[in-house]
Structure 1
Amino acid sequence: MADSASESDSGSVDGGPIMMPPSPATREQMQKRIESLQQQNRVLKAEIDAYKVQVKTLQSENRSLRQASVNIHAKAEQEEEYISNTLMKKIHSLKKEKETLALNFEQEEECLTNDLSRKLMQLRHEKVELEQSLEREQGHIVNKLMKKIEKLEAEINSKQNILEQLRREKVELENTLEQEQEALVNRLWKRMEKLEAEKRNLQIKLDQPISAPASPAGYYGEATSATRGSQPGEEQGLPNTVKIQRAPEQLTSHIQMLRSEVSRLRRQLAISQQEHMQKTNQFQKEEQTIREENLRLQRRLQLEMERREALCRHLSESESRYSSIVLCHIKHWESLRSISQFGDGRRASL
C-alpha cells in the first residue's frame, strides 16, 4: 500500500502539469511527510510480514488440526468397529449363554417342579395318615379317658352313697343309743324310786313287830314282791332279814350290769365313730386321688389337642412354604425372560 501510494504520488508529480517549484518551507514539509510515510510504510511492511508469518503458522496449525481430525475420525471408526465387533461377540456369547441358561432353567424347573410335586403329594399323604392316626389315637384316648372318668364318677357316686349311708347309720346309731340311754336312765330312775318306796315300806314293816307283829306270810309276800327276782326254788322258811338283804344286793348288781352295758355301748359308739372317721378320711383321700387323676387325664387330653393343633399348623406351614418356593421359581424364570428380551432389543437397536 505504501509503494502504491508513493508510485501514485510520483506519477502524479511526473504526469501532472508543471508546477512552480515549492518554496523551501514547503519542500521541508514535503520531505518530512515523505519520511513519515516511508516510516509508516516500513511499519506496515513489518506488520504484513508478521501477519504473513501468523497466517503461515495458522495454516500449518489448520493442516495439523485437519490431519488430527482425520486421524481421530479414523481412530474413532476403528474403535467403533472394534467396539461393535466386541459387542456383537458378547451379544452372541450372551445369547448362547441365555439359551443355555434357559434350557438349564427349564430342565431344573421341571426337575424341581416334579420333585416338589412329589414331595407335596408325599406330605399330603403323610398329613392324611397323621390326621387319621391322630384322630384314631385321640378317639382311643378320649374313649379311654371317658371310660375312666365314668368309672371314677361311678366310684365317687358309690362312695358318696356309702358315705351318706354311713352318716345316716351313724345318726341312727347315735339316736338309738341316745334313746336306749334315755330309756335305761328312765327305767333306772323308776326302779330306784320303786326300790326307795319298797325300802321305806320294808323299814316300816321292820319297825312294826315291836308294837304289833305282822303275820309271817304277809311279810314274806311283801319281801318277795320287793325283790322281784326271787327264785321259786328258794326256801320259804328263810329269815326275813336274809331276804331283805338280798333285794338291795340284786339291785346293786343290776345297776352295775346296767352301768357296764352303758360303758360297753359308749365304747362301741366311740369305736364306731372312730371307724366312721377312718372311713371318711379314706373316702376323702380316695376322692382327692380320683380328682387328681381326673385333672391329670384332662391335662393329658389338653396336651393331645395342642399337639394335634401344632401338627396341623406345621402341615399348613409346609404347604405355604412349598407355594412360596414355586412363586420364587416363577419370578426367577420371568426375570430371566425379561433379561433375554432386553438383550434381544438392544442387539436389534445396534
Structure 2
Amino acid sequence: MDDSVISPGNKMGDSASESDSSSLDGGAMLPPSTVSRDQLQKRIESLQQQNRVLKVELDTYKLRVKALQEENRALRQASVSIQAKAEQEEEYISNTLLKKIQALKKEKETLAHHYEQEEECLTNDLSRKLNQLRQEKCRLEQTLEQEQECLVNKLMRKIEKLEAETLAKQTNLERLRREKVELENTLEQEQEALVNRLWKRMDKLEAEKRSLQIRLDQPVSDPASPRDISNGDTASNLSNHIQTLRSEVVKLRNQLAVSQNESKEKMQRFVLEEKHIREENLRLHRKLQQEVERREALCRHLSESESSLEMEEERQFNEALSVSIDDYYDDIDEVII
C-alpha cells in the first residue's frame, strides 16, 4: 500500500533520477521487467489528472480573454463617442468664447473712455484740493509762527521773572543765613558771658553763705545783735537772689531754644521755596522745549501731508488703472470658465 500512494511529483523525481542514473551509466536502459505495472498505471492516471486540470485552466483563460476583448471593444466605442462629443463641446465653447471676447473688447473700449473721463475729473479735483491744502499749510505756518513767538516771549518773560525772584530769594536766604550765624554767635557769647557772670555771683554767694553758716554754727553767748539779724536777712535774700538768677538762666535758655527753632523753621521754609522755584523754572524750560518740538513736528507733518497728497494722487490713479485691468481679466476668466 505504501508503494501505491506516490504523488506525481515523486514519480517525476524518480523518473528524473532514473534518467540521470541511466545517463551516468552510459545510456543503458533498464529492462521492462524491472518497472512494475502498477506504478506505470498510477503514473498514467496522475498525468491524465494533470492534463484535465490544465484543460480546465485553459478554458478559464479563454473565457477571460474573450471577456477582455469584449470590454476592449466597448471601451473603444465609448472613447470614439466621447471624443466626438468633446469635439462638439470644444467647437461650441470656442464659438461662445469668440462672441464673449468681442463683447468684452467693446466693453473694454467703453470702460477705457469712461476711465479717461473719470481720471481727468479726479485729477482736477485732486489738484484743487492740493492747492487748498497748500494755502491752508501756509496759513497754519504763519499762525503757528505767531503763536510760537508769542508763547516764547511769554515764557521768556516768566523765566526771567522767576530767575530774578530766585536770585532775590537766594540773596535773602544768604543774608538770613549770615544773620542766623551772627545771631547764634551773639547768643552764644551772651549766654557764655551770662553764665560766667552767674557763676561768679553764685561763687560769691556760696562763699558768703559758708561764712554765714560758720557764724551761725558758733555757740550763742550773747543775745543776738541787730547786726546778726541783718546778716540772717542777708542770707535769705542771697538765697532768693540765687533762685531768681537760676530762673533767669532757665528762661534765657528757653528763649535761645525758641530762637534756634524759629531760625531753623525759617531756613526750612526758605529751602522749600527755593526748591519750588527751581522746579517751576525747570517745568517752564521743559514746556518751552515741548512747544519748540511741537512746532517742528507740525512743520514736518505739513511737509509730509503735502508729499502724501501727491503720493495719494498717484496711488489713486494706479489703483483705478489696476481695478480696470483686473475687471477686464476677471471677465475673460469667467468667460473661459
Using structure 2 for the length normalisation, give the TM-score: 0.51
3-state SS, counterpart of residue 266 of structure 2: helix
CA distance in 2, matches of 1:314, 1:331: 25
2:130 to 109, 116, 130: 116
1:127 to 134, 138, 141: 141
CA distance in 2, matches of 1:319, 1:149: 42
CA distance in 2, matches of 1:180, 1:172: 12
1:171/1:319 CA distance change after superposition, 3 Å: farther
Structure 1 residue aligned with 2:46: none
Structure 1 residue aligned with 2:160: 146
1:332/1:246 CA distance change after superposition, 3 Å: closer
2:308 to 288, 308, 321: 321
1:105/1:330 CA distance change after superposition, 3 Å: closer
Contact 1:109 1:329 in 2 (8 A): no
CA distance in 2, matches of 1:330, 1:166: 81
CA distance in 2, matches of 1:169, 1:287: 23
| 1:178 and 2:178 are equivalent in the alignment | no
Structure 2 residue aligned with 1:275: 262
Structure 1 residue aligned with 2:248: 261
- What are the Cα deviations for residues 225-244 of structure 1, in whole angstroms up to 9, with x where unaligned? xxxxxxxxxxxxx7222233
CA distance in 1, matches of 2:292, 2:183: 46
CA distance in 1, matches of 2:281, 2:136: 39
Structure 2 residue aligned with 1:307: 294
CA distance in 2, matches of 1:264, 1:253: 16
1:239/1:112 CA distance change after superposition, 3 Å: closer
Which letter does structure 1 place at the counterpart of 2:186? E
CA distance in 2, matches of 1:144, 1:173: 42
Q: Which moved more, 1:262-271 or 1:107-116?
A: 107-116
Structure 1 residue aligned with 2:82: none
**CA RMSD between the two structures:** 4.3
Unaligned runs of 5+ in 2: 1-94, 323-337
Aligned length: 220
Note the 1:85-104 alignment, pairs <5 A: 94=109
1:99 deviation in Å? 6.8
| 1:159 and 2:173 are equivalent in the alignment | yes
Which letter does structure 2 place at the counterpart of 1:249? S
3-state SS, counterpart of residue 142 of structure 1: helix
Which letter does structure 2 place at the counterpart of 1:279? K
Which letter does structure 2 place at the counterpart of 1:289? H
Identity %: 31
1:327 deviation in Å? 5.8
1:314 deviation in Å? 1.5
3-state SS, counterpart of residue 261 of structure 1: helix
| 1:137 and 2:151 are equivalent in the alignment | yes
Structure 2 residue aligned with 1:248: 235
Note the 1:215-234 alignment, pairs <5 A: none
Instruction: Point out the structure with max Rg over C-alpha.
Output: 1
- What are the Cα deviations for residues 249-301 of structure 1, in whole angstroms up to 9, with x where unaligned? 33223222221221221121122223223333333433443344344434433
Q: Which has the higher contact order (CA 8 A, sep 6+)?
A: 2
1:261/1:109 CA distance change after superposition, 3 Å: same
Contact 2:130 2:306 in 1 (8 A): no
- What are the Cα deviations for residues 8-51 of structure 1, in whole angstroms up to 9, with x where unaligned? xxxxxxxxxxxxxxxxxxxxxxxxxxxxxxxxxxxxxxxxxxxx
Using structure 1 for the length normalisation, give the TM-score: 0.49
